[in-house]
Structure 1
Amino acid sequence: MPRLLYYLLAAALPVLFGCQKPEEQFTVVVIPKGLTHEHWQSVRRGAERCADDLRAEDGTTVRIIFDGPLRERDAIEQIRIVDRRVATGASGIVLAPQHSRTMTACVKRAADAGVPVVIIDSGLDDPDHFVKYVATDNYNGGCLAARHLIGELKKQGKGKPKLILFRYAVGSQATEDRERGFEETVKKICPDAVWLSTDKYAGATRDSAMREAGPLILQFGNQVDGIFAPNESSASGTADVLRSQGLNKKVLLMGFDASKPLLQSIQEGDVIGSILQDPYRMGYLSTWYCVRYLRGRDVSNGRKDMSESTGEYLVTKENLNSVFTLGLYDPETQAKRTTEELRKGPKR
């Protein structure tokens, strides 16, 4: 090799290989409340889409680990998962806490260990130890549910409807906010409504909801005009019970969230509507904020803007199959959503 060529190559090698900015690599662990509901699968797809976008933009590698308890009422297992993932090298954590108080200590341990936590879906009582909260405005979702249910009942001439508020579980801030929004809005717009039951809880699964709803509807089936069930499993379980007792379409059922059975119930008229969240965007934004924080960015305006709403939308039989609605739950339509929309919000 000529001496001049040798020196030129020797000078070029550091530029070509040694002076390039090293590729950033992060491991973000997404910990849902549970693994059974379709809501969490949309969150997972959103997080993975964010990782794909970041790699395409600047080569950043984000490994997404999806790890949660099998059951949504197993806070002890969720705490163990948080602690284990902190100990095994997570760069950051996206967490949907099962309980607003019980989960605070493990989030603090993560923060003390230098692992930032972005909270999604349900809040924590103590906001001092997480870096961002990305969620539905659940209170407003409950308000939307109340307006739609009362509106449909008034169309039937029922100005003093008899109602059941079928709660989800104690300590789940998201559903408690929905229930509070529903109850307070009904009292404002329909003060003559009669509450047949407001103290029964559906539990974490469709089966538990059916077990609890069965005796409740058997007791009040000849009186009740409308029911609000504040999540997917409680709404699906209640719809099953209404069908089994021949009360579907007679008792108006209002739900929250989406699943294939619940959406089919809306299509068939057994459920008058559901408030849908945007879990795909929730998973995307929470991952994006987590990575930005890991890169040293201020994601909360000096902790003045800790919350980011991902929106809540009334879905009925009339708009069930619109492109916008499909983008909230359908995997193929979700994959077609633009990066700009996912980061800045949809234009309707």
Structure 2
Amino acid sequence: MKIKKALVIAALALCVQSASAQYNMPTQTFTYDKPYAVEKIATPKGKKVKNVILMIGDGMSLMHVYTAWTANRGKLWLENATATGLSKTWAANKLVTDSGSGGTSLATGVKTNYHAVGVDTEGKPVPSLVDVAKELGKDAGIAVTCRLWDATPCDFCCHNVDRDKEEELVGDYPTSGVDFVFGGGAEKFTNRKDGRNVFSELMQKGYHVSRSLDDFFAYDKNSRVFAVPYDKDTPLPDERGDLLARASMKGIELMNRNKKGFFMMIEGSQLDDYGHFNQLDMLMKETLDFDQTVGKVMKWAAEDGETLVVVTADHETGGLTLVNGNKNEGRVECCFSTRDHSGAMVPVYAFGPGAEHFTGIYENTDVFKRIKQLLTYGVIK
């Protein structure tokens, strides 16, 4: 009897050990306590594209999206997308990319080397969607929650073989041609090693430079706005509220006055940071903040009728895996497999005229090519 009891205890111990080891790494649990409502957005009936808004969730994979969907009780604004595809993110010289190379491919249609920004594999500057829009007489803008010397905003406005050349990258903004900019990173615009005052240079180029949120949101003259209210990143989502959505809508309002249209890149930047840090709670808050910004943008685009919204990522970060949870409670249990990027394909969502061209499996460079066609001709030729 004692032997039988000992065998049962041993078996139970093995079961417990197996259950705790089945994910091969520690898990984290998060419950979202502020679920938000999501509405069905009517699809625009128009067929021609005048404006394109490209939204990038830095490091956002399908698993990030599905985990956020679970946390928000089984609903996301992203689900209003009428077309979905998958993008391959490899760099020219490395299978697993970074925001420099991955973002450059989205911005310019060129595969480039790991850590490169706005240049090809030989280090030569290549035009981005900002340049495409300006050549067409349209406005161009960006809104991000990171430092403006970070890779993704620089992919659209700057050129360097090394994303770590931060002062050099910031020094490219006055000649970038971009109209509207919102982000952090003011500390590298002044007190620089090269003695330049980039804010002064921007003002000489005709930009209104906003160093505070009050000044930024009060400004209403034209779209030539360079708003940098923070020395580094914008605050955490619990502190900043819907700032990304409000800043993005301000840019859309100003640039939409251009009768020829506009291009805008909006980034949920700090998803990537919390993927690197393996912090599930902050990662989910950033992802859900990004989704709410997607909702505001899609609702505006639906009313406008001539705006294509494309939502994607430059790569995956953290190797996030959803292993358990309850969508009725908004509870998710996840583990991470890395503190770096992974090689997973990333989703592409599209809403509005031209959305049908973003289905399938394709290279990240094709996102640029299709947007360029639609900005140029209004349709794919």
TM-score by length of structure 2 reads: 0.35
- The structure showing larger relative contact order (alpha-carbon pairs under 8 Å, at least 6 residues apart) is 2
Pick the structure with greater CA Rg: 1
Q: Comparing both structures, which one devotes a greater share of its residues to helix?
A: 1
Q: Comparing both structures, which one devotes a greater share of its residues to strand?
A: 2
